[in-house]
Structure 1
Amino acid sequence: MKKRDHYLKIVEWSDDDQCYVGSIPGWIGKCCHGDNEEDVYRQLCQILDEWIEIYEKDEILLPASISDKKYWHPSFSV
């Protein structure tokens, strides 16, 4: 598992911009865009990898990840 896998990555269509926009909620706002959803996702992963590298190089604690969050859905068995 890569460190970036601990963070939620969102690629969504923007009607205002007429393109896909990528962001990492709670850390990196809207930071990349393009006409192809998969390309924007790849850009987003690259940006996240670069931010992680910078934080580690500068010895800055990474923001809390989503990997420890517990999600519940009515279809999950209890």
Structure 2
Amino acid sequence: MKDFDKYHKWVEWSDEDQVYIGKCPDLITGIHGDDPIALYGELCDVVQDVVEHFKAEGRALPPPRVRPMSEVA
């Protein structure tokens, strides 16, 4: 499994902000946009950039902690 794939990523609607929010809390606080499909692609690009930045700096990636709800049970 690639390091990128270890981190849970999702897009959800924010009633408060009236936009979609892309989240990957193990690595970034979030990004936002109007199109959920395009936003997910952007989120994946940002997460990949963060992973590559950590590796380029010789820093260890934080452990993935956030998991999908189906794995919580």
User: Which TM-score bucket, shorter chain as reference?
Assistant: 0.7 to 0.9
Q: TM-score, normalised by structure 1?
A: 0.76
- Select the structure of larger CA radius of gyration: 1
Identity %, equivalent residues: 37
Greater relative contact order (CA < 8 Å, ≥ 6 in sequence): 2
Give the aligned length.
68
1:5-34: per-residue Cα shift (whole Å, max 9, x none)?
11010211011211101111233112x211
Structure 2 length as normaliser, TM-score?
A: 0.80
4+ residue stretches of structure 1 with deviation over 2 A?
Answer: none
Structure 2: which 5+ runs fail to align?
A: 66-70
Runs of 5+ in structure 1 lacking a partner? Answer: 74-78
Larger proportion of helix: 2
